[in-house]
Structure 1
Amino acid sequence: MCIIIMQNNHKKAFIIAEIGNNHEGCFYQAKKLINAAKKCGVDAVKLQYINPNKFIPPSDKKNLKKYERFKLSKENFLKLIKYSKKKKIKIFSTFFDFNSFNEFKKYFDMYKISSTDNNFYDFIKTIVKEKKRTFISLGLLTNIEIKKLINFLNKIDQNNHKYITLLHCSSSYPLAYNEANLKQILFLKKNYPKYQIGYSDHTLGIETSLCALSLGAEVIEKHFTLNNNFSKFRDHKLSSNPNEMEQLVKKSKIINQLLTTKSFKKTNQFKNKKFYRRSIFVNKDLKNGSKIKIKDLDFFRASKGISVRYLSKVVNKKLKQNIKKGNLLSKTFIK
């Protein structure tokens, strides 16, 4: 997945490419993913550290075998942390059991809580008590359950919103476009304004992520792979490949600029204002003392003279001097 954090001061988006399990247990493949993510311009990568014996029931031998094959050894996991630091790219992980989290938490500045565990309150408490940047996916939760989660977080720490990001998410892989429910982002921003709000995207392509950014999402999460056809493992198909990731990074910066608020007086529009407005001109010779009629006037772009805004205050006024055809009307000409 990739996570994009839109900074409140409108700096460039902070992008995290989630390798997840797309390394399929291969240390060298994981290194290739880190290198590719760095080349795409992301700021961080994310892993998933799963101990199958603490995640899959013994009776589910098929999934136990799969996750055992995908599991990185503790030695290689630590090597990837060291390698990322060498490449000057941040790295963090999602954990799925207490022991693994407690063992590796000291190596990371950020954590992720998956939709699987967003109702596992005791596990959430263990992670949140570290008071480090934590992303929580809200997949599988109703709005009532989201409110209960927020109430629980506030019991742990009233200031949890300073380091917790809420990610709108629909737990379906891949997610159909008509189930993305992106308006939920607006709901979350309205009801939980203290929190940074984002979107965990499981749709194909990057269009949904870009739309979410346009709705004000400050974080976008999306899987990352070297090749969508790398293997039969499901996550490769719904992941962004390097080309898509690079485009997502570039276009997120454009959207960030589009949503930036500038003081009117600091914009080019303000500079152009006087050149694009119309002023009042006379279309015939007019004599001193004559009344100004609307038929005697033209309205051209000009940076000087009387603005068309004041036309009603000019019509039927008397002139106090002669004016030649084509001249700009000035307040000094009117009695």
Structure 2
Amino acid sequence: MTFKTLIIAELGINHNGDPGLAKEIMAAAKTAGADVAKIHSYKAEEVMTSATPLADYMKSHSAKMQESGFLAMARKFELSDNSTESLKAYAEDIGIEFLSSPFDVTSVHYLHRLGVKRLKIPSGELVNPFLLQAAAETCLPLIVSTGMADIEEVQWAVSFLKKFNCGPLSLLHCLTQYPAEFCHVNLRALHTMQDAFPGIEIGYSDHTPGIETSIAAVAMGATIIEKHLTLDRSLPGPDQAASLIPSEFAAMVEGIRHIEEALGNGVKSPSAPEIPNMKIVRKSLVLREALPGGTVLSLSQLSAKRPGTGIPARELEKVVGRRTKQALPANHILQWDELV
């Protein structure tokens, strides 16, 4: 049975605080084949102080945003509880899982009461013991992003969560850059994390442009893929440039599903479609010349030619020195019962 990668469409704040736009993106995620649609849940004043600067990528995205500051931007994109509940109900109506990343303890408790299936811990909260404890104590499955972290910090977070008897854990390799440069992605870290955390699912949160790294991550064993989705990259907002549009997201999903099938079971053996071709493509031992009965076969009298319906060419050493039972013509495909 083919393993199915969990594909998360990250709406994040690409809705720009508009629940109607969020629903449109959710619908696009469902159509594109995503399993999960994810938003951000936070109370701006609990997440940051007014002294929090904008990241460089946010500054370059909008001069207006730069003037207003990070806290003002966060307030603008913050969804009310009513909006969040409406989005969860809408997701259930269209048949896609609703997920959210809480950025503060209050939001952890709120999402738990709301009845989400699991929680997604964002990279910035990996080293926040207040939020990690609250998340662990819900006993919900946790998907934890690890952007900006070294392996020791990830180990600390895993140990901390387990101390509070957390639910099942998954970890996502991530590069916290929007959009992420390919030269910094370091997909081989997936193998490092797989070795460091046996028994924990390892996935990839992808901020690169395009779809290649997500597909490659699945080929390297990632079992969860998270990728930003927007309806239009020209919309305002800091994450739009690092997002796929629906047609691109659908192409990514298709590529991932193809890779899942292509990975197979790891056993090196002929597959069912190959077996009929073996008799056509492989070669048999064939006589270079006509030979009388009783001839002791030598290497110079033999060649390998298609079809593979006679003695397989790889049996050459077993045939040299054997004797023919009867006269055989040139180009004859040898059979075992013709030899003594």
TM-score for the superposition, normalised by structure 1: 0.89
- Distance in structure 2 (CA, Å) of the matches to 1:292 and 1:229: 76
Instruction: Measure the CA separation in 1 of the matches of 2:20 and 2:324.
Output: 87
The separation in 2 between residues aligned to 1:333 and 1:206, in whole angstroms, is: 58
Name the amino acid aligned to 1:68: R
Equivalent position amino acid for 2:102 in 1: F
Task: Indicate if the aligned counterparts of 2:170 and 2:203 stay in contact, CA closer than 8 A.
Answer: yes
Name the aligned partner's letter for residue 127 of structure 2. Answer: N
Q: Give 1:262 deviation, angstroms.
A: 6.3
Q: 1:24 to 1:286 in 2, by over 3 A?
A: same
Pair 1:324 & 2:333 matched? no
**Residue in structure 1 matched with residue 265 of structure 2 by the alignment:** 261
Q: Gaps spanning 5+ residues in structure 1: where?
A: 1-8
The residue number in structure 1 matching 2:243 is 239
Gap regions ≥5 residues in structure 2: 53-67
- 1:251 paired with 2:255, answer yes
The SS at the match of 1:186 is helix
Separation in structure 2 between the aligned mates of residue 195 and residue 205 of structure 1, nearest angstrom: 27
> What SS does the aligned partner of 1:190 have?
helix
Provide the rounded CA distance (Å) in 1 between the counterparts of 2:224 and 2:123: 16
Partners of 2:171 and 2:47 in 1: CA distance: 23
Question: Cα deviation per residue 1:86-138 (whole Å; 9 max; x = unaligned)?
Answer: 12221011111222221231320011111111011232122123232211011
Deviation readout 1:195-236 (Å, 9 max, x if unpaired): 1101111122222222222222111212111100012x2200
**Residue matched to 1:125:** 133
* One-letter amino acid of the counterpart of residue 43, structure 1: D
Secondary structure of the 1:209 match is: helix
Shift of 1:279: 1.2
Give distance in 2, aligned partners of 1:126 and 1:118. 13
State the match for 2:98 in structure 1: 91
The equivalent position to 1:134 in structure 2, one of 130, 142, 159, is 142
Q: Distance in 1 between matches of 2:320 and 2:20?
A: 81
Does residue 122 of structure 2 align to residue 111 of structure 1?
no
Deviations for 1:162-197, whole angstroms, at most 9, x for unmatched residues? x21100112222222111111101111122121110
The answer on 1:76 being equivalent to 2:83 is: yes
**What is the Cα deviation at residue 298 of structure 1?**
3.0
1:25 aligns with 2:33: no
Residue 229 in 1 paired to residue 237 in 2?
A: no
Worse overlay, 246-255 or 123-132 = 123-132
Q: Deviations over 1:10-65 (max 9, x none)?
A: 24433221111111111211111112112212122111012111012144572222
2:284 aligns to what? 279
Aligned twin of 2:55: none
* 2:60 is aligned with 1:53: no
Q: 1:64 aligns with which of 39, 63, 71?
A: 71
The answer on whether the counterparts of 2:88 and 2:98 sit within 8 Å (CA) in structure 1 is yes
* Aligned counterpart for 1:192 among listed residues 194, 197, 205: 197
Aligned residues: 323
The counterpart of 1:291, out of the listed 293, 296, 305, is 296
Q: Residues 330, 64 of structure 1: CA spacing in aligned structure 2 closer, same or farther, 3 A cutoff?
A: closer
> Does structure 1 retain, via aligned residues, the 8 Å contact 2:178–2:241?
no
Given that residues 144 and 172 in structure 2 are in contact (C-alpha distance below 8 angstroms), is that contact kept between their aligned partners in structure 1?
yes
Q: Which amino acid aligns with 2:151?
A: N
Query: What is the CA deviation profile of residues 280-335 of structure 1, one whole-angstrom value per residue up to 9, with x for unaligned ones?
Result: 12232211222223332232223432222221222233323222233222333323
Identify if the C-alpha distance between structure 1 residues 210 and 331 changes in structure 2 by more than 3 Å, giving closer, same or farther: closer
1:258–1:176 distance in 2 versus 1, CA, 3 Å: same
Q: Structure 1 residues 271 and 153 mapped into 2: Cα distance closer, same or farther (>3 Å)? A: farther
Q: Distance in 1 between matches of 2:157 and 2:77?
A: 31
Match of 2:320 in 1: 315
- SS across alignment from 2:229: coil
* Pair 1:58–1:281, CA change in 2 (3 A): closer
Distance across 2 between alignment mates of 1:92 and 1:177: 27
Poorly superposed stretches of 4+, deviation over 4 Å: none
Q: Write the letter of the residue equivalent to 2:300.
A: K
State, as a whole percentage, how many aligned pairs show the same letter.
28
Distance 2:335 2:264 in 1: 39
Q: Is the 8 A contact 2:108 2:131 kept in 1?
A: no
- Amino acid aligned to 1:253: R
Higher mean alpha-carbon deviation, 11-20 vs 249-258, is at 11-20
Question: Which of residues 210, 214, 217 in structure 2 aligns to 1:212?
Answer: 217
